[in-house]
């Protein structure tokens, strides 16, 4: 099908929208789940458009290191961190603590679902 390309953003939104409360995932994980592990940047970019979509909690998507690299795209300076902390996620210096504890793996969570 030729509509896979266009579905890329939709896929990103779909996965991001399924991130449960108090959980986080990485751009690379989503990208890989979508079959485009090298397109992690596209995931982030998709999140850029996600800012217009309330169903997509972009603040739950961080980089591989659990670092809030995308916080600069949020309204305030530490809004992203506050949102995560509000969900029970420990965030210190823009970095998620105990990432493994909060990490939400689309493969594990969705495939086994």
Listed ranges 63-71, 84-92, 97-105: which one lies at the site for DNA (CB under 7 A)? 63-71
Listed ranges 47-55, 82-90, 99-107: which one lies at the site for DNA (CB under 7 A)? 47-55
CA 16 – CA 48 distance, rounded (Å): 12
Site string for DNA, 67-106 (x = CB under 7 A): --xx-xxx--------------------------------
- Residues contacting DNA: total by CB under 7 A: 32
DSSP state string for 54-84: TT--GGGEE-TTSB-GGGGGSSSSSHHHHHH
Q: Which helix (H) or strand (E) holds 96?
A: strand 95-96
Which residues contact residue 49 at a Cβ distance below 8 angstroms, ignoring those fewer than 6 apart?
A: 9
Look up residue 58 and give its two tokens: 């972009």
Shortest CB 20 distance to DNA, Å = 18
Binding site for DNA (CB under 7 A): 5-6, 8-9, 26-28, 36, 38-45, 47-51, 58-59, 61, 63-65, 69-70, 72-74
């Amino acid at each position: 099908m030729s509509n896979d390309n266009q579905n890329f953003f939709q896929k990103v939104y779909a996965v991001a929208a399924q991130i449960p409360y108090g959980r986080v995932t990485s751009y690379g994980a989503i990208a890989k789940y979508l079959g485009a592990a090298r397109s992690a940047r596209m995931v982030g970019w998709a999140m850029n458009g996600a800012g217009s979509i309330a169903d997509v909690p972009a603040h739950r998507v961080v980089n591989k290191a659990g670092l809030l690299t995308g916080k600069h795209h949020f309204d305030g300076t530490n809004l992203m961190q506050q949102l995560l902390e509000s969900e029970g996620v420990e965030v210190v210096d823009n970095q998620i603590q105990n990432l493994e504890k909060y990490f939400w793996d689309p493969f594990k969570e969705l495939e086994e679902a």
